[in-house]
Amino acid sequence: MKKIERILYASDLGGNSRPAFRAAIHQAAVNDAQIIYLHVLEPIGGAAEELINAYLPESLSQARLDKTIAELKKRICQRLSDFHEEELAEHWADEVKEPIVEVIQGKADKCILKAAHRFDADLIVMGDRSSSSLARVFLGSTAQKVIHHSDIPVLIVPLKADSGN
């Protein structure tokens, strides 16, 4: 296996996602790797998107998206700061490079794979909240789609149901 230099950490910003980020931090510390913290903003879709597009000029629609992305980046930076204060200071604070924060819009699995290639990632780390095997079979999960289509290693961390962290 080639050396891990860049790790793409994909987060849905949901609660109980710290175990997956801990796994990414651990891999980054052990491998002296850079983390790219990715959040994918799913398109609104359906009637809501049609309504927005019908009544808002394209420039305002783009401005709304830009504002949303900026707010999400700010939220991610705060989460990173909180994580650093609460967990990193005593463990790997000096061993972990500051993550690159990326927020993009699109279908999560496709965006994760494209970002992994764009950043030349050597590992993808992400959590999986699928509640049951049956749910995965019928609905699929982002994690499963990424595993199925990725040509680089993917580390999946099982996460508990969302409750706000």
Tens-place pLDDT, residues 59-83: 777 787 788 889 989 988 888 888 8
pLDDT of residue 77: 87
Residues 22-27, mean pLDDT to the nearest whole number: 91
CA separation for the pair 126, 19 (Å, rounded): 10
Asked if 65 and 42 touch (Cβ cutoff 8 Å), the reply is: no
CA separation for the pair 102, 5 (Å, rounded): 17
Instruction: Tell me what the pLDDT averaged over the chain comes to.
Output: 82
Of 148 and 48, more confident = 148
The structural architecture, per CATH, of the domain 6-158 is 3-Layer(aba) Sandwich (3.40)
**pTM to 2 decimals?**
0.81
pLDDT of residue 164: 46
List 128's β-bridge partners, or say none. 158
